C-alpha cells in the first residue's frame, strides 16, 4: 500500500526522503558529545588461598 503510493507519486517519495535526511542531519549536530566522557577504569581482582 505504501509502496504503491510512492510509486504513483515519486515527488512525494523524494520529499519524504529529503525530510528524513534533514531530520537526521539536525539531530547529528544537536546531540551532546563530551570530549572526554567518564569511563570507569578497568580493574582486576586476584584472590588466592
Tell me if 39 is assigned to some domain.
Answer: no
Query: Count of domains in the chain?
Result: 1
Tell me if 4 is assigned to some domain.
Answer: yes
Model confidence pLDDT, tens digit, residues 15-48: 999 999 999 999 999 988 878 878 888 999 999 9
What pTM was estimated for this model as a whole? 0.60
Whole domain around residue 20: which residue ranges?
Answer: 1-27
Tell me if 33 is assigned to some domain.
Answer: no
Tell me if 8 is assigned to some domain.
Answer: yes
Tell me if 14 is assigned to some domain.
Answer: yes
The torsion of the CA quartet 40, 41, 42, 47, rounded to 10 degrees, works out to -100
CA nearest neighbour of 3 among 20, 21, 16: 16
The answer to whether the beta carbons of residues 31 and 24 sit under 8 Å apart is no
Amino acid at each position: 500500500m505504501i509502496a504503491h503510493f510512492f510509486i504513483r507519486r515519486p515527488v512525494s517519495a523524494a520529499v519524504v526522503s529529503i525530510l528524513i535526511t534533514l531530520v537526521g542531519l539536525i539531530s547529528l549536530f544537536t546531540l551532546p558529545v563530551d570530549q572526554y566522557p567518564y569511563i570507569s577504569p578497568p580493574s582486576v581482582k586476584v584472590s588466592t588461598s
